[in-house]
Amino acid sequence: MLKELFDLVKGSAQESVIDNPDVPNEQNNEVVAEATNTVASGLRNVVSGGGLQSLLSLFGSGGQQSGKGLLSNPIVSMMVGHFSEKLMNKYKMGGRQASNVSNSLIPNVIGNLINKTNDPGDTNFSLENLLNSITGGRSSEVVEEQQSTGNAGFNLPDLISQFGGGGGQSGGGGLMDIITKMAQGAQSQQQKNGGGGLMDLIKGFMK
């Protein structure tokens, strides 16, 4: 899923990075990799911190939010700020230029990611695959556990609808139990391949 995310970021970066004179051509791939790292780490940090409900709410919008409209979402604005700081500190970009790149690229990437995960015809992207990548497969385990307790039709869309409706129980486990298990999976992934390790994996896609 990380390779697909890198390709998505690269495809979303034409105007904000590739054709942008504020980003030296020799840094294009590095900046794309940094943006991929920002999005992947940001999503994982949200889940590991118990913010699964906020993430599902964002992706459950069905692609109705896009581009600049996503800047008001706290998850997206967090990523924008983090990426902007990286551009200034690591790539020595000016504050205004870094802000312009970040404000353009990150919401564009998230909007495209939302659209793709909500497109049943796009087999490369799904919310379950995304969460499995973030949690090291824990989301599939949660679905299987719910189904084994008699909730045979349980799936991630059901989970989204429960959050949207403020539901409390699903089969044998409450939503807080699901959030906790997903968070533990994300925390385990953080320890397994922290910031440096994740960035090293992403840079491998540049070759």
Asked if pLDDT for residue 190 goes beyond 50, the answer is: yes
What is the DSSP track for 131-146?
A: HHHHHTTHHHHHHHHH
How many helices (H) and strands (E) in the chain?
10, 2
Residue with token string 């298990």: 181
Token pair of 4 as six digits: 């697909």
Q: In a 3-state reduction of DSSP, which class is residue 93? A: coil
Token pair of 29 as six digits: 């791939």
Asked if pLDDT for residue 12 goes beyond 80, the answer is: yes
User: Higher model confidence: residue 67 or residue 107?
Assistant: 107
At 17, the pLDDT band (50, 70, 90 cuts) reads very high
H/E segment holding residue 173: strand 173-174
At 202, the pLDDT band (50, 70, 90 cuts) reads confident
Segment 131-169, tens digit of pLDDT: 777 777 666 666 566 556 655 554 565 665 555 444 444
Which of these, 12, 33, 8, 19, lies nearest to 91 by C-alpha position?
33
Q: What is the pLDDT of residue 169?
A: 41
Phi-psi domain of 19 (left: phi exceeds 0; alpha: psi -120 through 50; beta: other): alpha
- The answer to whether the pTM exceeds 0.95 is no
Q: What is the pLDDT of residue 166?
A: 43
User: Higher model confidence: residue 166 or residue 15?
Assistant: 15
